[in-house]
Amino acid sequence: MIKLIALVKKKSGMSVGAFKDYWVNTHAPLAKTIPGMRGYRINVADPGGDLPAAPYDGSAEIWFDDRAAMLKGLASPENDIAGADVANFADDLVFLVCENEAVILDASGREWAR
């Protein structure tokens, strides 16, 4: 499994609510048509809270079976359409290509899934 992680800065002047609404309800339906995608998760940063503000307003996680499937999906017309749409809600987008390693600890601190 390979994961493409996108770090996203919202469009300048766009409210967090409008950013989330556009990303979830307009962009996501375009993105989820990209061939070979096994999963797509959107994470919108909470602007409040006790921690300092992050340099990004959200992230997306996109899963593919392997690098070949990812490259094929990214070369598709569906990806071209979704890619062109990013400018409608984001000023900056940075991608990380990651090998997916899940390490989950149980209540006693022992690893139970990998």
Return averaged pLDDT per consecutive 10 residues of the chain, 114 residues in all: 95 96 97 96 86 90 95 98 97 92 69 57
Looking at the structure of the chain, the number of domains it has is 1
Which pLDDT value is given to residue 93?
95
Which domain CATH number covers 46?
Answer: 3.30.70.100
The pTM is what? Answer: 0.84
Which pLDDT value is given to residue 102?
64
* CA distances in angstroms from 64 to 15, 17, 29, 78, 82, listed in the order given: 31, 29, 17, 15, 16
* CA distances in angstroms from 76 to 13, 36, 67, listed in the order given: 31, 10, 14
Domain, as residue range, for 54: 2-113
